[in-house]
Amino acid sequence: MFVRIFIQIGVAIAAICLFASSGFAQTAAKPTDPQIAHIAYTADQIDIQAAQLALKKSKNKDVRAFASDMVRDHTAVNNKALALLKKLKVKPEDNDTSRQLSKQASDKRAELSKLNGSAFDKAYVDNEVAYHKTVNDALQNTLIPSASNQELKDLLTTGLKIFQGHQQHAEQVATEFK
Amino acid sequence: MRQLDLRFGALPVLACLAVIMAEPARAEVIHVTMEQIAYTPAQISAYVGDTVEWDNKDIVAHTATARDNSWDVVIAPSSKNSVVLKSAGTVAYYCRFHPNMVGQITVKPRE
C-alpha cells in the first residue's frame, strides 16, 4: 500500500520527465521543501508509533532492542529536522502523500494490534523491513533529488544512511522468524 | 660564537632523543571518527596495549562491536568512548544499531 504511493509519485515524475512538455505539471508533481519536510517528519513519526506498539506488546529481546533503537534514532532525526525547519523558517506543509502515509500506517497498526506473541514479532519486523525499504527508496529517488535547500538535502541524505542501517538491522532480526 | 652556542644547545636534544628511542614503544591512542554513518578511517592498525577512541559526530548513537564479541562499546552522539586492545589479531567490528557501519583493526603484537 505504502509502496504504491511512492511508485505513483515515481511514475508521475518519470512520465513528466519523458514527456517534459509542461512546466506547470512538473512543479505540481515535484514535492516542495515544506511538503518534503512534512512527508519525512510523518514517516519518522509512523515508525516511532510502530516501535511504541512493539515495546508494549513484544517480549522478544531482539525485537524490543530494535524497537528502542527506532524510537531513539527517529526521535533524534526528527528533533534535528524540527531545529532545521525553525532555522530555515520553513513550515511543514500537509499534503496527499503524508495524509495517505498516516492513513495506511494507522491501518497497519490496527492490524498489528490484533496479533500476539511471535505472530506479532514476525509481522512487526517484516513490516519494518518493508517500511524502511519503501522510505529509503522514496528518499533516494524522490525526496532527496527534489529538495531545493542544501541543508534539508543533507539531513535527508544522513537520514537515508541511518535508515539503510535500520533496514539491515531489521533484516537481521527477521531471520529469527523465518 | 652563535654557531658554537647552537652546537652545545643541540647536545641535550640529541641526548633526549637517544633516551626516547631506546625506551620501549609507548601505548598509543588511535582516533576513529564516526561521521555520516561510517567509521573514518575504516581500517586501522595498532599494537597490543593501544587504545582505540571513537568520536561520534553523528546525531544518533552508535556502537563499536567486535564480531568476535571481545568488546562492545556504545558511543552517544557528540561523545567519545574507547577500548584497550588486549590481544593480537585482526578484528572486524560493526555498529549494532546500523550494521551498514563496518570497520577493521589489525592488532600486532608488541615487540
**Contacting residues of B for A80, CB less than 8 Å apart:** 59
Three-class SS of B24-81: CCCCCEEEEEECCCCEECCEEEEECCCEEEEEECCCCCEEEEECCCCCEEEECCCEEE
pLDDT digits over A144-174, tens only? Answer: 999 999 999 999 999 999 999 999 999 999 9
Nearest to B37 among A76, A162, A172 (CB): A162
Nearest to B99 among A76, A161, A168 (CB): A168
Q: Residue A29 above 80 pLDDT?
A: no
Please answer yes or no on whether B36 and A158 come within 8 Å at the CB atom: yes
Helices (H) and strands (E) in chain A, counts: 8, 0
CA distances from A52 to A168, B44, B77, B107 (A): 20, 39, 22, 41
pTM to 2 decimals?
Answer: 0.81
What is the DSSP annotation of B74-111?
Answer: EE-TTEEEEEE--S-EEEEEE-SS-TT-EEEEEEEPP-
Say how far apart CA B95 and CA A77 lie, in whole Å.
18
Please answer yes or no on whether B98 and A158 come within 8 Å at the CB atom: no
C-alpha cell at A165: 542501517
Say how far apart CA A52 and CA A64 lie, in whole Å.
10
The Cα of A164 is separated from the nearest Cα of chain B by a number of Å equal to: 7
pLDDT digits over A107-136, tens only? Answer: 999 999 999 999 999 999 999 999 999 999
**CA atoms lying within 13 Å on the CB side of residue A97:** 29
Say how far apart CA A73 and CA A66 lie, in whole Å.
11
**Contacting residues of A for B101, CB less than 8 Å apart:** 165
Please answer yes or no on whether B98 and A77 come within 8 Å at the CB atom: no
Q: Residue B13 above 80 pLDDT?
A: no
Say how far apart CA B95 and CA B101 lie, in whole Å.
6
Chosen for mutation from B65, B98, B101, B102 (greatest number of chain A CBs closer than 10 Å) is B98
Q: Which amino acid is at B33?
A: T
Q: Residue A17 above 60 pLDDT?
A: no
pLDDT digits over B50-71, tens only? Answer: 999 999 999 999 999 999 999 9
Please answer yes or no on whether B100 and A69 come within 8 Å at the CB atom: no
ipTM for the assembly: 0.81
Confidence of residue A20 (pLDDT cuts 50, 70, 90): very low
pLDDT digits over A48-70, tens only? Answer: 999 999 999 999 999 999 999 99
In the three-class reduction of DSSP (H, G, I as helix; E, B as strand; rest coil), residue B4 is classed as helix
Please answer yes or no on whether B98 and A72 come within 8 Å at the CB atom: no
